[in-house]
Amino acid sequence: MEKISIPCGFLWVLLLSLASFTAIAIDTRDAKLTKYISSCEVNPQSPEERYRACQQHCERTQLQHRPQCRQKCIDEYRKEQRKDDNPYAFEEQHFTTIKSQHGRLRILQKFLDRSKFLSGIDKYRFGFLEAEPYTFFVPAHYDADLLCIVLRGRGKVTLLRSKGSESLNLQKGDIYRIPAGTTVYLINIDKREKVEIAWLIQPISTPGEFKEFFGAGGENPKSFLKTFSPELLEAAFKVNRDRLQEWLGQREGFVVKASEEQIRALSDHAGGKGLWPSGESKRTINILRQRPIHSNKYGEIRDVKPDDLEPFQDLNVGVALANMTQGAMSTMFFNSKSTKICVVPNGEGYIQMACPHLSSSSSEESEQGHGDGGFIDQSNPGYVQVTTRLRPGIVFIAPPGHPLVMVASNNQNLEVLCFVINARNNERTPLAGGNNIWNQMEEVGLELAFNMPSEEVKSILKSQKKEWFMKGPRS
């Protein structure tokens, strides 16, 4: 028995050692994967892109570890989806960022990738261009129509087409269009302030898919001219390939620094008209110069409709700008036809919206809990309260028919700018305030609708005299 027990004891110790070694190896592997996933989280990618990157990382691990690695990617993705469960709001992590030393281009993920509820605007994309003071955005063209609005700063954009060029002087509030296939470049003429431009992008080939094509020489981004063979380039330009190689390799970055002299030379180019002072163009319209359509001491709203400027007419897209004073709120309202893609240039506050689409899909999650309460209040079984905190750079979607209200913080004004999709014949329908639609109902209809004597209903509906903008809640 002793001869047998010694090897068995030795074997048992050996097995325990192997098990411990395996556990340590698994823990080490899991720690490495967790560290890798954490490093992905600081990268401004969408959850879907981080998930794909995680799966690609798993393919480089040892074969026996791949199933556990893949499952951990799935678990992390699901956790992030639960944490990031407001399908109508977009923050920094939902953008893909292309950086240059003196500027950056941020493109929002596809709307349909964010949520099936956004399929109605699936063909559009959204983005921001930022350029530092005294910089030059190199020539590029896009396989998409761009509707642009200047959020801050001053600049000049030049459009190059086969029939000639046109330059537009830009300042805050200017709206302009870059037709698909138009080569365009931009200068920031301000020596202190960066220029920031919001883009509504409508691809012309594949819905939701577009590409930028940089033609000027350089490596980052690479000029599309370098894709062609040297002999073709020599024949096309009738220049030696060595000179062409030098010509196409001079620049680094798509936004480059320019001297004051260079900026002034570019500014004075178009027909001898410089940007000091800014000129006018029939191809731009400034929303800040439009007469407010609704205004009182609590706020105002301005509109640019599709038919207000010829270059916009075929897009059926408008622009709206709401400004609310601190502590104020908009009335409760909904849009009859349009979907609004909105961004906050300045200020803070929040928006609340009633959404019927999330009520069934969120009930299971509500039963499981949301930690700090999340964005969903499942107090009403038919609708979900969607709340989005507003601050500069936040993008949110207001679908048609969804009642909503915007509230400015108590310590600063709130500015909200919206691209209005399907703008023609859209109506803003007020649900509260002196002009609310309920006041148009007959007394009997009010009694039947609210199960209360009509006098009481009317006293409630007519208590708020302000229209469109009013004093907000105390907290």
pLDDT in tens, 193-207: 999 999 999 999 888
Residue appearing with tokens 């928006």: 351
Q: Do residues 112 and 139 make contact, with C-beta atoms less than 8 angstroms apart?
A: no
Nearest alpha carbon to residue 334 among 432, 416, 422, 408: 432
* DSSP, residue by residue, 365-404: HHHH--TTT-SEETTSTT-EEEEEEE-TT-EEEE-TT--E
Tokens linked to 101? 């030393």
Q: Is 162 left (phi over 0), alpha (psi -120 to 50) or beta?
A: alpha
Q: What is the largest CA-CA distance in the chain?
A: 107
**CA dist., res. 40 & res. 42, Å (int):** 5
pLDDT, position 215:
82
> Torsion angle of alpha carbons 389, 391, 393, 394, nearest 10°?
10
DSSP string, 80-143: HHHHT--TTEE-GGGEEEEEETTEEEEEEPPHHHH-GGGGGGTT-EEEEEEE-SSEEEEEEEES
pLDDT at 456: 92
Backbone angles phi, psi at 108, to 5 degrees: -70, 145
Q: Which pLDDT belongs to residue 189? A: 93
Other Cβ atoms less than 10 A from the Cβ of 158: the count is: 17
pLDDT at 77: 67
Nearest to 312 by CA among 152, 197, 202: 202
Enumerate residue ranges in the chain where pLDDT < 70: 1-48, 77-84, 217-219, 250-251, 269-281, 359-381, 475
Say which residues have a Cβ less than 8 Å from residue 407's Cβ, sequence separation at least 6: 324, 328, 329, 330, 349, 350, 351, 352, 414, 472, 473
Q: What is the domain class of 89-216+251-284 according to CATH?
A: mainly beta
Parse the chain into domains and list their residue ranges. Answer: 2-83, 89-216+251-284, 290-471
Rounded to whole angstroms, how far apart are CA atoms 328 and 406?
A: 9
- What pLDDT sits at residue 271? 40
CATH T-level fold of 290-471: Jelly Rolls (2.60.120)
